[in-house]
Chain A
Amino acid sequence: NAGVTQTPKFQVLKTGQSMTLQCAQDMNHEYMSWYRQDPGMGLRLIHYSVGAGITDQGEVPNGYNVSRSTTEDFPLRLLSAAPSQTSVYFCASSYSGRGDSPLHFGNGTRLTVT
């Protein structure tokens, strides 16, 4: 049982480049989300989805796009990378997205923008 799989594990981008962080889960969870983790800032919610075709913004959505075409996949797109987007990105999923079900996290993508 793979759980939540994130690729790549590491990525270095130059300012202005674009890329997509991949996230896939095999638990048939309806809810998926993206967080970024920065030193001293904790985990901050970027975007989330409560099901295929439905997405919404979190606390820090600017500079990021998402889509949810299937239940399994929830990619995060950076259209024009900036140094401020240097961070560790975590994808997470849960059955309902509410307090009755825990979030299952991937092992993160460490992104550096130079």
Chain B
Amino acid sequence: TQLLEQSPQFLSIQEGENLTVYCNSSSVFSSLQWYRQEPGEGPVLLVTVVTGGEVKKLKRLTFQFGDARKDSSLHITAAQTGDTGLYLCAGYGSGGSNYKLTFGKGTLLTVNP
């Protein structure tokens, strides 16, 4: 089983602050996805990263895939209360793990006004 470790598990910040969430593994992933989940709803995809070293930006969110494709980070600039939610990273393994998307345990972000 390929494991994804997310840190921190909980994060509470004030509106306007910056933050970074990390997703690490000892295994190589062919691709990695980030989802956001709000209470009472299913996760919704934010981004997919495929190439080692890849950086993708989605408005105030910046996603990076590590060169070795074992880790990823999510950076939020000037957080807003609407960013509050559970952030999940998930990866498809390389060779033999297709169709099985492995999730990290998530980072619960609270942005206070």
Question: B11-19, B55-63, B97-105: which one contacts chain A?
Answer: B97-105
Interface size of A by CB at 8 A reads 27
Given known A-B contacts A56-B99, A99-B33, A105 and B104 have beta carbons under 8 A apart: no
A45 touches B100 (CB 8 A): yes
Asked if B50 is an interface residue, CB under 8 A from chain A, the answer is yes
Note all chain A residues with C-beta closer than 8 A to B105.
40-42
Question: Could you say which of B40, B48, B104 contacts A42, with CB atoms under 8 Å apart?
Answer: B104
Q: Can you name 6 A-B pairs with beta carbons within 8 Å? A: A35-B103, A43-B103, A59-B1, A97-B98, A107-B41, A108-B40
B interface residues with partner A (beta carbon < 8 Å): 1, 30-33, 35, 40-45, 48, 50, 88, 90, 92, 98-106
Asked if A58 is an interface residue, CB under 8 A from chain B, the answer is yes
Given known A-B contacts A41-B105, A102-B33, A31 and B99 have beta carbons under 8 A apart: yes
B42 touches A107 (CB 8 A): yes
Give Cα A37–Cα B26 distance, bound, in whole angstroms.
23
| Closest chain A CB from B22 CB (angstroms) | 15
B88 touches A43 (CB 8 A): yes
10 further A-B pairs in the complex, CB-CB below 8 A; given A42-B105, A45-B100, A59-B100: A41-B105, A43-B103, A48-B99, A50-B99, A102-B48, A103-B101, A105-B43, A105-B44, A106-B42, A108-B41
